[in-house]
Amino acid sequence: MKSSTQRPAARTAAAVVLIAGLGLSAAACSSSKSGAKDAAAPAGGDGPVTISVPCEPPTSQAGQRKEWLADVATFEKANPNITIKGIDTYPCEDTATFTAQMRAGTEPDVFHTYFTDLNQVLDAGQAADITSYVNDTTVPGFSDLAPSALAAVTAGKTLYGLPTGIYTQGLIINRKLFKQAGLDPDHPPTTWADVEKDAKAITALGNGIYGYGDYSAGNNGGWHFSSEVDANGGQMINQDGTKAAFNAQPATEVLQALHQMRFVDDSMSPTQQLKWGDLQKQMAAGKLGMYIASPDDLYNVIVPQDGGNVDDYGVGPLPSTSGTPAGSLSGGDDVMFNKHDTPAQIRAGIKWIAFSMLTPGQGQFNYARTKADGLPVGFPEPLDWVGATSEKNEALKAASATVNTAYYKTFVDAHEKGMGEPVDAQAVYKTLDATMLSVLNDPNADIPGLLKTAESQVNTLLANAG
Amino acid sequence: MAEQILLRPGNRSSRRLPAGGPQPPARGRRFAVSVRRNLAGYGFMVGAVLCFALFSWYPMIREFVMSFQGTHRDPVTRLPTTTWVGWRNYTRIWHDPTFAAAWKNTVEFSLLALLIGFAVPFVVAIVLNELRHARGYLRVLVYLPVMLPPASALLLFQYFYDPNTGLFDHLLRLMHLPTSQFVQSSGSAMVSVVIASTWMNMGGTTLIYLAALQNIPGELYEAAELDGAGILGRIRHVTIPQTRLILSMMLMLQIVGTMQLFIEPFILTNGGAGPGNSTISVVNLIYQYAFNLSGSSNYNSASALGVLLMLVLGVFSALYLWISRDREN
């Protein structure tokens, strides 16, 4: 209940205003005014310029933070006219905060977005057109950037951002628990039948340990469902983006496997409604055997933030009925430039991103330094480039690798085909959250019925989208 | 009384200016005098009016306008333009499968909150009022949960409700009673939300009831006792009639408050939807449209739903104002 003392009339009015206020800053759904600016620096070079930039690692990631600050110092020394002002957040982007920033126009000069955010940024009219600023000189290796990643930051012929990280998902396993359960951690399960068998064996260890975990809240359940369906040979939405296509055998098999593990094998925890962040903690605490994620969960969250031991983990391909994943939902991170940036700020921002996030051997790819700092090196992602730049990056990584790359071999060998996110992705994920949750907390869940309902709901969403 | 004397017709004439005397001040001058006299008052009002205009009225109007707008995206450049879309946002939210669930849950929460959250504080207030000892300490105890930040209190309940490691199921197991899935099951999720919410919020309501109870003249109870009324008789014939107005106002305020249910399901069910969409509320859905989904068209949908909620709450707010006015008279 809500007492009147806590919600007097003024508070009620304030709450109504808050709801009403959703509209306040969204007035300008107008066309982007961020036309191309003068890309060429003046003859005498740019004067002093300050840029605010995203993704400064928080204090909880002490090692990465130290390296990031060192990069800032090196960069500022080499570019005395540029001052870097870091924004300390992790993850780099929180959906609700990002939406509010877009509406209010309060994002940093250089701001982080996910591949799925481009429409939202364009709707808010917040991104600068950087097409004329970017080439192989300003961003070395630009021509080798993965085409699918560049497509995610391009609208028509206009480039709005630079991709900084690309991922596909795999099956993260706890090698220590695999060994304790008498399983072979060098050969993670590849079929759902094997996942069920291994999860059961791991759960038998007792002590609150569960073999498998999955999400079912915060749109993350639908997100994982999509990846699992992709891997199992299914498709979320049809080619022209008008109808749900997931109500078929691949999705049924995935949900049956989850329901089997949750209610027949009891190899999933009774605590469900989990979302991003929950399974990482369980994995770091040694209470979870397997869950699906991209490998960056290991080096960004489980090891540095949640205190897991890097040697305890490995990654296999996404499970599927056949044992060969047909694909994986792929996504990634990128940066964009505030439409209010001056040309000098855009040039400075591109220079910083190229230095710190997009050059093999420098910044986030300075593997020798990462190794010297005692941080793990050798994870199979991100996969930003193709061609010569990719080869150069992989060679540098291999030369300094500290993690046992064999732990990720089956994932790398699977060469999962990256599949983009469905149309109106978050709305679709929201709908599928409910399906996942029903499967994971209703012992009598009617899987065909749930899929049929979700299909109808997604069709309705798509029909009324826009 | 002086005021009555002044208002008598005979006295009114004495205030007229004598014939041939100075002419009454011109209308403009009277206005200037009035403005000068009330200048400080107007000055104080400016801030409030500006605040309301900027943070209350303008957003409301904007929300209403936005609920009839949408985005058209150029297929090549993907750049958007804002267009008038008539009732499309309203049609869209109407067709959203969670729309009906959100309203059903919100009404269900309000009803449960009335059954549990309205009655419990009243009963607790009566008990506290009847107590002769330790009343102050108990009052503090009842009020303590209100001092906890809502997010902290709900995270506490999230732990209590956990079917794997939670306190409640642990206690139930110790007592050899059947355990519950609490917020993990569609059957028990909403009741679990109401219980947590009642615990969090009843302190303030209880104190208001207690204050109302203490304003009831003791003679009425004495008279009732002399007439042979027991405790239930006293409550029925003295307490409830004497606190009727407070009870009605609290009821209206509580309906308005409970219909804005948000943070409880948002935290207890990790985002608000709950099993089988059993805990998603209207405000949760507005939040999802506005912040969890991408694209400005969802801002427009959020506005449309906001307008609908505002209309519904407007009815209850009007009832509240009517009851308040009745009380003043």
Structural tokens at position B296: 């400005």
Q: Is the Cβ pair A217, B271 closer than 8 Å? A: yes
Alpha-carbon distance values, A234 to A249, B62, B242 (Å)? 8, 43, 67
Closest-CA residue to B154 (of B17, B20, B279, B251): B279
Structural tokens at position A21: 């206020």
H or E, element range at A78? helix A62-78
Which tens digit of pLDDT belongs to each residue from B243-267? 888 888 888 888 888 888 999 999 9
Q: What is the radius of gyration, based on Cα positions, of chain B? A: 28
Tell whether the torsion through CA atoms of A184, A190, A194 and A195 is positive or negative: positive
Q: Is the Cβ pair A120, B309 closer than 8 Å? A: no
The owner of tokens 């969090």 is: B200
Structural tokens at position A23: 């509209």
Identify which of A8, A123, A156 has the shortest CB distance to residue B295: A123
Identify which of A15, A100, A426 has the shortest CB distance to residue B292: A426
Q: Is the Cβ pair A464, B258 closer than 8 Å? A: no
Half-sphere exposure of A399 (CA within 13 A, CB side): 13
Q: In Å, how far is B61's CA from the nearest CA of chain A?
A: 8
Structural tokens at position A308: 């897991």
Q: In Å, how far is B129's CA from the nearest CA of chain A?
A: 19
ipTM over 0.90: no
Closest-CA residue to B297 (of A226, A427, A111, A333): A427
Q: In Å, how far is A213's CA from the nearest CA of chain B?
A: 14
Identify which of B116, B186, B202 has the shortest CB distance to residue A3: B202
Is A217 touching B (CB cutoff 8 A)? yes
Q: Is the Cβ pair B65, A23 closer than 8 Å? A: yes
What does the alpha-carbon distance between residue A233 and residue A251 come to, in Å, rounded to a whole number?
9
Structural tokens at position A193: 């039948």
Q: Is the Cβ pair A217, B273 closer than 8 Å? A: yes
In SS3 terms, B209-256 reads as: HHHHHHCCCHHHHHHHHHCCCCHHHHHHHHHHHHCHHHHHHHHHHHHH
Structural tokens at position A362: 């420098």
Is A156 touching B (CB cutoff 8 A)? yes
Closest-CA residue to A370 (of A321, A299, A306, A437): A299
Length of chain B counted residue by residue: 329
Closest-CA residue to A288 (of A407, A174, A440, A169): A174
Identify which of B63, B201, B276 has the shortest CB distance to residue A438: B276
What does the alpha-carbon distance between residue A348 and residue B99 come to, in Å, rounded to a whole number?
47
Q: What is the radius of gyration, based on Cα positions, of chain A? A: 23
Identify which of B66, B117, B287 has the shortest CB distance to residue A23: B66
Q: Tell me the β-bridge partners of A336.
A: A111, A161
Estimate the crossing angle of helix B39-52 against helix B27-37, to 10 degrees.
Answer: 70
Q: Do residues A426 and A219 touch, judged by C-beta distance below 8 A?
A: yes
Name the CA dihedral angle for A239, A245, A248, A251, rounded to a multiple of 10 degrees: 100
Tens-digit pLDDT string for chain A (466 aa): 333 333 444 444 444 344 434 333 333 333 334 444 566 777 667 789 999 999 999 888 888 899 999 999 999 999 999 999 998 877 888 877 888 888 888 999 999 998 888 888 988 889 999 999 999 999 999 999 988 889 889 999 999 999 998 888 999 999 999 999 999 999 999 999 999 999 999 999 999 999 999 999 888 999 999 999 999 999 999 988 889 999 999 999 999 999 999 999 999 999 999 988 999 999 999 999 999 999 989 988 898 888 999 999 999 999 999 999 998 888 889 999 999 999 999 999 999 999 999 999 999 999 999 999 988 899 988 888 889 999 999 999 999 999 999 999 999 999 888 887 887 787 888 889 989 999 998 999 999 999 999 998 888 878 766 5
What does the alpha-carbon distance between residue A303 and residue A293 come to, in Å, rounded to a whole number?
14
Is A208 touching B (CB cutoff 8 A)? yes
Structural tokens at position B53: 């205009």
Estimate the crossing angle of helix A220-231 against helix A425-441, to 10 degrees.
Answer: 90
- With contacts defined as CB-CB under 8 Å, which chain A residues touch B202? 1, 3
What does the alpha-carbon distance between residue B278 and residue B105 come to, in Å, rounded to a whole number?
7
